């Protein structure tokens, strides 16, 4: 019998002072059996970083043709494609061809090695932004994981604070590559 996804309900309040975005989102996140709590929480962080009323989670690990998080316009066209982890450079190029902009939020101890190996191959992808978060952040975020979560996220001056009311995590994403598209 196949294992089923674990469903997490999240009430996420976002105060993004850098973009002037303020909102509360009632989210349902399905965590694939092979997905770690760390990866799921990095997906949630990606949602908070790029929050929009139309932003939504893709089908995740079970769908090869979808972003982890994406923003589509009213016609269904992909405006922003967001992946977490260390995707293959061919996959990144494919996403750049399908979307107005692409963001990769890399994390983990091997992220620097991953970036060193593919950075030169992605130099002409002007729609691409690559951000990296410190390796200690995902485990700290995973400590907040519950089946029902109430999280607050504040973004100001490039720094992110995520709290569940008991624990707080400060995150400063490091830009490895900035998009050259206006």
For 95-123, the pLDDT digits (tens) are: 999 999 999 999 999 999 999 999 999 98
Sign of CA dihedral 76, 88, 171, 142: positive
Whole-number Å distance between alpha carbons of 81 and 20: 21
Q: What are phi and psi of 94, to 5 degrees?
A: -65, -45
Q: Taking a C-beta distance cutoff of 8 angstroms, is the pair 66, 95 a contact?
A: no
pLDDT at 65: 73
Judge whether residue 81 has pLDDT over 90.
Answer: yes
Q: Taking a C-beta distance cutoff of 8 angstroms, is the pair 8, 40 a contact?
A: yes
- Reference 105, options 63, 69, 73, 79; nearest CA is 69
Sign of CA dihedral 181, 49, 176, 113: negative
Whole-number Å distance between alpha carbons of 37 and 30: 11
Domains annotated for the chain, with CATH where assigned, are 6-177 (3.10.640.10)
Residue corresponding to tokens 């309040």: 13
Please state whether the predicted TM-score (pTM) of the whole model is above 0.75: yes
pLDDT at 20: 97
């Amino acid at each position: 019998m196949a294992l089923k996804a674990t469903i997490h309900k999240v009430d996420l309040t976002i105060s993004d002072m850098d973009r002037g975005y303020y909102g509360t989102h009632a989210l349902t996140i399905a965590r694939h059996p092979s997905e770690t709590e760390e990866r799921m929480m990095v997906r949630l962080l990606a949602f908070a970083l790029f929050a929009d009323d139309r932003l939504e989670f893709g089908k995740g690990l079970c769908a090869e043709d979808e972003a982890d998080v994406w923003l589509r316009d009213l016609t269904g066209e992909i405006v922003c494609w967001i992946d977490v982890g260390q995707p293959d450079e061919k996959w990144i190029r494919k996403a750049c061809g399908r979307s107005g902009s692409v963001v990769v939020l890399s994390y983990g101890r091997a992220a620097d090695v991953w970036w060193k190996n593919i950075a030169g191959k992605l130099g002409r992808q002007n729609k691409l932004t690559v951000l990296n978060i410190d390796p200690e952040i995902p485990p700290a975020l995973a400590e907040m994981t519950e089946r029902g979560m109430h999280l607050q996220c504040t973004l100001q001056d490039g720094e992110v604070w995520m709290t569940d009311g008991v624990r707080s995590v400060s995150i400063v994403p490091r830009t490895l590559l900035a998009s050259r598209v206006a």
